[in-house]
Amino acid sequence: MANLDFYTTPLDVNDTKIFGTADTAAHFAKVAGDNASLQRILSALQRGPVHFYRNNVIALDEDVADYLLFVVTGVVRSCKICKKGTRSVVSFYLPGDFFGWVDAKLSLSIEAATDTEVLFIKRKGLVALASQDVRVANVLLTAATNELARAQEHVLLMSKSAKCRAATFLTDLWVRLGKAQYLDVPMSHQDIADYLGLTIETLSRAITDMERSELISRVPSQRRLILQNHFGLRRVMN
Amino acid sequence: MANLDFYTTPLDVNDTKIFGTADTAAHFAKVAGDNASLQRILSALQRGPVHFYRNNVIALDEDVADYLLFVVTGVVRSCKICKKGTRSVVSFYLPGDFFGWVDAKLSLSIEAATDTEVLFIKRKGLVALASQDVRVANVLLTAATNELARAQEHVLLMSKSAKCRAATFLTDLWVRLGKAQYLDVPMSHQDIADYLGLTIETLSRAITDMERSELISRVPSQRRLILQNHFGLRRVMN
DNA sequence: CGCTCATTTGAGGAACTTCAAGGTCAGTGG
DNA sequence: CCACTGACCTTGAAGTTCCTCAAATGAGCG
């Protein structure tokens, strides 16, 4: 845990808080399902929730080797800075997402894309439990394969046009956030552009273009959108 | 198994052959490690090896839901045809690779990129075993996370320049195939281009360019390369 | 208001694609 | 042995998409 200096709120590994808010429990249920005993097991292994401010580093590979992460609130990004100074965002994690299968060779860093609260779950403890409880093993395998499916979709997206990438991203985000009336985009355009392999300017033009075509509209609030024409969006997405 | 009509060699699920060649066993050991009993367990679950000719469909999502696949010889690709008729290759699997965590929503198809031999392993049987044997569970989780790491690397690659993508692909392939003197590229340029999100022309130009810069050279054989200047290649790869 | 940070817009250039043609190689049949 | 064929790869020229650089606009906040 040498790298915990990076943390905004230092993580005290001896401080096991039992999470208590209904909100947290509801999100946590996404991982454990309605299996109450499994939820108890997982909650006993957790550390946190730990709060991070936007753009702070949550973990580097070394940390992720020790912990699996669970997002309670906010958005987490995993990204890679390459030597040239360019950044790629590999994945976004939203509330309820359970992740941490990071290959050390990739040297990704896990960062807060917004202010966020994250649970840390000791990997070793969970793996040990998995050997005793099939359900735990299934939770792990399911989480890993879900993340794989997302990564494969991301690969497919990267060979499409800018407009298609933007439309797909916004629609997927809208679905992941629960298909609310408004899509309050939580992360910056720069984060999205780095996720989609575009420049911020190209992303902006793509969004403006969709607005002009009345596929989406912008509510004059910070980053609030309405997906107006789902049929049209689907056409742009291919 | 309704879709087995696609198979070149129909798969008889009641025909359990024990694989016998040293070659197969050696590759299989990559999955099971030097754990002899685990190797025996896995081999008891297998069906095959089944031979497929180049470009034949090995499995569609429905099949992959039932079986995990193990490549004995040749190259397997998983790919997606989109409505416009364009194709993307999501992943290549080489001898020794153990895969099959395919999300049905993506509707990928698993195809033979070269003539190939594939083992089918009943997913249910393996999952059932995993609940009894921690080592089996670990094999599954490890295979899934390895594939995730590969997919994430693929995502990172897709936002690089054409030359970087080509150089990285060839170098990675060379490593995966065992760093031999010659790199005999087993798949077609079209497959590679679809994997890298490039046109076949752009790929060809990138390779020709690397040859002119003396990073690689082409042996006047079918698709045989020599990676001459590893330092220079690394520079192009970033 | 005036500052900062984030986003938008425009003009020009680079990278990649498209379209079209030519080349190479292995297999096939005369 | 040679010509023919088809699959695969290469090359060139023109067009499109996206990026780069530069500047303007907008939003949030003390």
pLDDT in tens, B33-47: 655 555 665 666 677
Element (H, E) at A38: helix A36-45
| pLDDT at residue B127, rounded to an integer | 81
3-state secondary structure of A186: coil
Report pTM.
0.87
3-state secondary structure of B41: helix
From the CA of B190 to the C1' of D8: give the distance in Å: 9
**pLDDT-derived band at B23, boundaries 50, 70, 90:** low
Q: How many CB atoms lie within 10 A of CB A12?
A: 12
Report, in ranges, which bases of strand D sit under 7 Å from a protein C-beta: 8-13, 17-22, 27-28
Is A226 touching B (CB cutoff 8 A)? no
Q: Which residues of chain A have pLDDT under 70?
A: 1-45
Q: How many CB atoms lie within 10 A of CB B217?
A: 13
From the CA of B139 to the C1' of C16: give the distance in Å: 41
Res B13 pLDDT > 60:
no
- Which region among A15-29, B53-67, B70-84, B140-154 has the lowest average model confidence (pLDDT)? A15-29
* CA count, 13 A, side-chain hemisphere, B140: 33
Q: What is the mean predicted confidence (pLDDT) over B125-131?
A: 81
Contact B90 A147 (CB under 8 A): no
| pLDDT at residue A80, rounded to an integer | 95
From the CA of A88 to the C1' of C26: give the distance in Å: 44
Q: Which of residues 212-231 of A touch strand C (CB under 7 A)?
A: 218, 223
| pLDDT at residue A20, rounded to an integer | 40
Q: Most confidently modeled of A128-142, B56-70, B124-138, B144-158?
A: B144-158
